[in-house]
Structure 1
Amino acid sequence: MGGSSIDKRAIAKFTKDLQREFDKQGPIRIPVETDMPELPPLGSGSSGTTVNNYGPVFHGDVSGAQIAWNNETVTQNQQNATNTSTVAPGYEPLAKLVTDLLEQLPQVGLDEQDRLETAEAANDVLKEITGVESPEPGKLRRAINLLRGALSPIRDGLITGLAAGAEDWAKAAIAGLTGVS
């Protein structure tokens, strides 16, 4: 190299002075925004999507109802078992939380495999608290722990590329699942 040299002492002094200034100012904070949609809070009852209904809309209980819409011919059969989809008494808030979670899960931005595994864990919880028999505490505890485990990487920020608010969403879901059995 012709005629130039690196002044290592000057660089060391500059680095030390720069560090001193950073130490005075505290941590550097940079706000980050994504193009992903904001997730609604769990339990809000709104998935944040627009639904266009091109047929009958029912508001209220339609248990056991059958309907055919815009059909040339239709054959309907129905078999009703007693309380096949009833939420076990006392587990209604858990059912609401898990149902909201399943509704909002596609908006979180998980890859297909993680989304399917999380949905499967959530459906296991619902399966245990609905039906004819009372929930079995051991099975329900395992199902809830699996669901919390599936949500933990989201809460901890270990998965990149998720929707804005996904960490808080997962944190709220895990908090809602804590202490339930």
Structure 2
Amino acid sequence: MPNAVAFRDQLMDWVYEKAHGSVTENIPIMEFAEGVGLNRDGAYTLLRFCRDQGLLNDKASGMGNPCALLTSYGIADVLERRRRRADPALRAGACRTGLLRWFYRQRIAQVHMPITGEFGDDDEALWEGTRFSDIEIEDAAEYLADKRLIKGVNVDQLRGPVRAEITSEGIDCVTDWEGNVSQYLRDQRGYGPTNYHGPVIHGNAQGGQWAWGNRDVTQNQTTPAVAPGFEPLAEAVAAILKQLPAFGLDPDDQLDIEAAANEVLAEVQQRDPEPRRVRRVLAALKGFLMPLALDAAREEVRELAQQGLDQINASL
């Protein structure tokens, strides 16, 4: 049986369509589960996974019939994913990263000069609930070859190598930068900060100060330590809190967003943040920002909310 949680994004899209974006429609999910090769146990596993992330409610399930109700966070998750899915620049970056990581895994598996097109059947080729197209994979292969991260055999009819292997530079990108091609190339050119050389943040999250990579920082109060790898997320959330007064929200709405943001910051201060909890509290924060980005009366507020969402997405 396939890995049930791998179908999380597809299930969310499917439930959203069946429920017409409503939080009141109870949707049985066995039709979806059977369509992707999951049995009843797999359907329940997937449903509970989405429930634990705050995306779906399973309170109507029973008698061996798994059913899902969308939450407001689930709606925000679907809408935000659709926005990212439609962004060609984000898709291109994700495809390059996925393809390079795939070539690295082929090297480890001792596959000599794997066929580039076979990447399309791999889990890495599934992004935001949809697979990369053949054209996107060809473009990614051409780009990686141009940047000397892979090398291989070209034919006139296609862009990029049809068979290739990862280079030593590509291996560095995967092992030291988790395959993030844009960050690796930016570092090679010496352009600005990266995840590994994080900026110093003096935010106003409940009066706290945030710092990392802070050998030369002097502060007048205790600085909460951000867990390694979560620095960009902490920076993004601290920036949202700093800009929040400009939203001009009702006091209750502002308090709700502040509470959600501070939950995120509190979790990333833990020695070993729990990914599931981070996702859940982050979904709550995005659930507050998404309606503002879509429907706020003032254009300035819509732009600020969208900027906050973009900052969060860029940090993940």
- Normalised TM-score (structure 1): 0.50
> How much does 1:179 deviate?
7.4
Q: Is the 8 A contact 2:241 2:261 kept in 1?
A: yes
- Counterpart position of 2:228: 89
Q: Is the 8 A contact 2:225 2:269 kept in 1?
A: yes
Instruction: Tell me which protein shows more helix as a share of its residues.
Output: 2
Q: 1:109 aligns with which of 240, 245, 248?
A: 248
> How much does 1:180 deviate?
6.0
Q: 1:62 aligns with which of 211, 215, 218?
A: 218
- Counterpart position of 2:257: 118
| Count of residue pairs brought into register by the alignment | 105
Distance (Å, rounded) in 1 between the aligned partners of 2:310 and 2:243: 16
- Counterpart position of 2:301: 166
- Counterpart position of 1:178: 313
Q: 2:274 aligns with which of 136, 140, 143?
A: 136
Q: Which contiguous aligned blocks of 4+ residues in structure 1 show a shift greater than 4 angstroms? A: none
In structure 1, the residue corresponding to 2:218 is in which secondary structure? coil
In structure 2, the residue corresponding to 1:61 is in which secondary structure? coil
In structure 2, the residue corresponding to 1:85 is in which secondary structure? coil
- Counterpart position of 1:146: 284
> How much does 1:175 deviate?
2.4
Instruction: Tell me which protein shows more strand as a share of its residues.
Output: 2
Equivalent position amino acid for 1:123 in 2: N
- Alignment RMSD (CA, Å): 2.9
Gaps of 5+ in 1: 1-42, 48-59, 67-79
Distance (Å, rounded) in 1 between the aligned partners of 2:280 and 2:305: 18
- Counterpart position of 1:36: none
Distance (Å, rounded) in 2 between the aligned partners of 1:98 and 1:177: 7
Gaps of 5+ in 2: 1-198, 204-215
Equivalent position amino acid for 2:283 in 1: N
Distance (Å, rounded) in 1 between the aligned partners of 2:233 and 2:252: 24
Write the deviation string for residues 109-154 of structure 1: whole angstroms up to 9, x where unpaired: 11101100001000011001013x2110110000100000010111
Q: Which has the larger radius of gyration?
A: 1
In structure 2, the residue corresponding to 1:142 is in which secondary structure? helix
| Residues 95 and 169 of structure 1: CA distance in aligned 2, closer, same or farther (over 3 Å) | same
Distance (Å, rounded) in 2 between the aligned partners of 1:107 and 1:169: 8
| Residues 180 and 136 of structure 1: CA distance in aligned 2, closer, same or farther (over 3 Å) | farther
